[in-house]
Amino acid sequence: MRPNKKQKYLDAIEDHVQKHKSKSHEAGSMEDYVFTSKEEAEKMAKKIGLSGSHSHKSGDGVTLYMPGKDMKEFQDWYEEHSAEATFKYENPRTGEVFTYRRMGNYKKDGVSLVYKGRADEA
């Protein structure tokens, strides 16, 4: 059976994200976050703590929607929910803690996050 147009587009998005992410993921497959209606994407955005939605055009002109105001916001959320996240970073303004699979320089809402150690350490 040939994959449909939506599936081809989902595969392209998944491939893009998987270049930087682990295949094991708490948030599930990227395909769980691609919708054919703006309303569905915004409902999911609210469920996962984001707001709004953004759209993508597939190669054949079909508009698909994803949660978050843009792809960067969604990818940041998706990365933060990696099942293999092992490093903790804290927002010094809010005290909110984020976990990442890799060590690096991270920002949230324009604020540099502070490294706080391995996530698996008490």
Do 56 and 6 belong together in one domain? yes
In a domain, 116, yes or no: yes
The pLDDT of 5-33, averaged and rounded, is 64
In a domain, 101, yes or no: yes
Instruction: Count up the domains in the chain and report the number.
Output: 2
Do 90 and 65 belong together in one domain? no
Domain range for 73 is 1-15+33-81
Q: What is the pLDDT of residues 23-68, one digit of tens each?
A: 445 667 778 899 999 999 999 999 999 999 999 988 888 999 999 9
Do 59 and 113 belong together in one domain? no
The pLDDT of 10-14, averaged and rounded, is 68
Do 67 and 88 belong together in one domain? no
Phi, psi of 114 (to 5 degrees): -105, 130
Query: Does residue 93 have a pLDDT over 90?
Result: yes
Query: Does residue 84 have a pLDDT over 70?
Result: no
Do 38 and 7 belong together in one domain? yes
Q: How much is the pLDDT for 70?
A: 94
Do 70 and 112 belong together in one domain? no
Q: What is the mean pLDDT of the chain?
A: 81
